[in-house]
Amino acid sequence: MTSLVGRSVHVRVPATSANLGPGFDTLGLALALYDELDVTAIESGVEIEVHGVGAGEVPTDDSHLVIRSIKHAFDHYSIPMPGIRLVAHNAIPHGRGMGSSGAAIVAGVMAAKGLLEGVVDIDSDDLLTLATELEGHPDNVAPAIFGGLTIAWVTPDGPRAKKLIVHRGVSPVVLVPAATMSTALARSLQPESVPHADAVFNLSRSALLIAALIQSPELLLEATEDRLHQDYRASAMPETNELVRLLRSQGLAAVVSGAGPSILVLGSDPSQRARAAELVSEQSANPWEALMLAVDFKGATVFSHEVAEPA
């Protein structure tokens, strides 16, 4: 596709926190912490620079997740992928339950959307489908694409998502440890079935959580109770589990962020997140970074740089 050579796009993708306590594999929240990438179509090959998080650690060949995601989108439309130059400035922590892999996947499909502008029209449904095919489930990629609070589900015709606007009184903080957690390991600890009472419990809390996040933040503590996944995963991240219990005992709506080991606290006012950070600092012998983040309402963006004339 020599006609694409010289096209360059800038992509910005937010971090996310999935599950939010009871909304296992369904609810996700976009957070104002971003990976930013410049992607340029070149004649051939792959050239990658990574700055910030992951520099010197992530692959710099065609196995890089962003490159794989771009290729997945091009393959979907039966268009040969050109060579790619990728310059990534990463801020989302890796392996901490903040959606770094989902962000990389969304960055790739957004880059493909920008590079293929005028060739193929990739709409929001297509973006969600392409990203979910790679991620396996839509709860992280949906908020990364759309921003805000998202409810994601899967139908016989593919994934779907509904975006909701979060109440301005909700004040998130993510408490990030030095340790990492494998999503695959976390998911392997889930049982195949759960007690009926626990399923009903989580259904009620998930419904309540929607109301708490969009209308009534004072209900966040009760709304973030969970019986489906966090207790089963506790053995893999005991300090996270202990701190979540401590924070909740102090009236703070703390949950495991995604697959962990980070902790998301959904404050109903800004003072609560400062209190959460202080409690963790006092109680843990290990360092935890407190990220005081706003909710991202825009989601992923892509815009084109000036298109150079093909050689």
Q: Give residue-wise pLDDT tens across range 84-122.
A: 999 999 999 999 999 999 999 999 999 999 999 999 999
Angle between helices 270-283 and 238-249 (to 10 degrees): 130
What pLDDT shows up at residue 220? 98
What pLDDT shows up at residue 156? 95
Cα–Cα distances (Å) from 187 to 102, 130, 191, 235, 260, in that order, read 16, 22, 9, 13, 11
Please tell me whether 268 is known to bind a ligand: no
In the chain, the percentage of residues whose pLDDT exceeds 90 is: 86
Please tell me whether 172 is known to bind a ligand: no
Q: Mean pLDDT across the chain, nearest whole number? A: 93
Do β-strands 263-267 and 254-256 pair in parallel, antiparallel, or remain unpaired? antiparallel
Q: Which of the two residues, 307 and 94, has the higher pLDDT score?
A: 94
Give the N- to C-terminal CA distance of the chain in Å, as an integer: 12
On whether the CB atoms of residues 266 and 224 are closer than 8 A, the answer is yes
Helix H or strand E segment including 115: helix 100-115
Please tell me whether 14 is known to bind a ligand: no
Spans of all domains in the chain? 2-165+296-304, 171-292
Please tell me whether 21 is known to bind a ligand: no
Give one DSSP letter per residue of 206-266, joined into a string. Answer: HHHHHHHHHT-GGGHHHHT--SSSHHHHGGG-HHHHHHHHHHHHTT--EEE-TTSSSEEEE
Please tell me whether 101 is known to bind a ligand: yes
Please tell me whether 95 is known to bind a ligand: yes
Q: What is the pLDDT of residues 7-53, one digit of tens each?
A: 999 999 999 999 999 999 999 999 999 999 999 999 999 999 999 99
Please tell me whether 103 is known to bind a ligand: yes
| HEC string for 26-63 | CEEEEEEEEEEEEEEEECCCEEEEEEECCCCCCCCCCC
Cα–Cα distances (Å) from 219 to 194, 214, 224, in that order, read 25, 11, 9
Please tell me whether 114 is known to bind a ligand: no
CB atoms within 10 A of CB 184: 8
Q: The domain 2-165+296-304: what is its CATH number?
A: 3.30.230.10
Please tell me whether 94 is known to bind a ligand: yes
* Class of the domain covering 171-292: alpha beta
309 band by pLDDT with thresholds 50, 70 and 90: very low
> What is the Cα–Cα distance from 181 to 189, expressed in whole angstroms?
13
